[in-house]
């Protein structure tokens, strides 16, 4: 059925569009359902045309059967009048009408079978739309979570060479480099940081010893 293929094509294209614009899943799902409903309405119009054809075929068959019955009555009346020639002509018209009625009846049966299939297909599509409406909220939430996860991954990837974190790390490396260069120049000038630290330690010990000595003297004076 060509109309069913068109419906499937629209479904696929709508899903593709939805996937491309996933940043607004609620709006896109709403639009997708509208598109599905529009397509089902077009399909329903095609089915209505098929139903109309089936009704016309049935009515034509009924008219031809009525016509055949009428000619049979005329043939019967002619025979009662002993008009064999008239009866023969009437029966000939009756047979022609009966043949047309049989042909229309056969066509009607085929069309009726096709219409039943089309109506079942439309009902199936309508059921799918109802299910889609029921699942819309849940699906929108799932798509939003997927989009959020994708954004988080993208943010983590951006923490490479262009992020503020990366720039902070490069600044820290530059500071450490400057400190290392300063220490290198001090060594070239004969200044050994290790010796300076050792001198500072000795000076601190000597200062502590003087403090202890002066404190002891103060205690002796106050006590004496």
C-alpha distance from residue 167 to each of 12, 158, 178, 179 (Å): 45, 12, 17, 19
pLDDT of the residue at 39: 80
Q: Is the pLDDT of residue 90 over 70?
A: yes
pLDDT at 22 over 60: no
> Residue 32's closest CA among 105, 173, 133?
133
30 band by pLDDT with thresholds 50, 70 and 90? confident
**Residue closest to 1 by CA, chosen among 31, 48, 46, 33:** 46
| Predicted confidence (pLDDT) at residue 116 exceeds the cutoff of 80 | yes
Would you state the pLDDT for residue 130? 81
């Amino acid at each position: 059925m060509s109309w069913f293929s068109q419906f499937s094509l629209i479904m696929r294209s709508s899903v593709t569009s939805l996937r491309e614009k996933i940043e607004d899943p609620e709006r896109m799902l709403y639009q997708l359902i509208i598109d599905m409903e529009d397509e089902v309405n077009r399909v329903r119009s095609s089915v209505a045309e098929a139903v109309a054809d089936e009704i016309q075929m049935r009515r034509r068959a009924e008219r031809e059967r009525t016509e055949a019955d009428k000619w049979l009555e005329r043939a019967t009346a002619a025979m009662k009048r002993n008009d064999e020639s008239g009866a023969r002509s009437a029966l000939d018209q009756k047979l022609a009408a009966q043949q047309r009625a049989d042909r229309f009846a056969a066509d009607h049966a085929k069309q009726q079978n096709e219409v039943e299939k089309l109506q079942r297909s439309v009902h199936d599509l309508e059921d799918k739309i109802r299910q889609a409406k029921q699942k819309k909220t849940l699906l929108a939430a799932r798509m939003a979570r997927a989009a959020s996860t994708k954004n988080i991954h993208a943010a983590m990837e951006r923490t490479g060479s262009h992020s503020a974190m990366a720039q902070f790390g490069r600044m820290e490396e530059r500071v450490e480099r400057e400190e290392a260069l300063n220490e290198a120049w001090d060594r070239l000038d004969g200044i050994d940081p290790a010796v300076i630290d050792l001198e500072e330690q000795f000076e601190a010990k000597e200062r502590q010893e003087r403090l202890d000595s002066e404190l002891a003297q103060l205690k002796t004076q106050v006590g004496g």
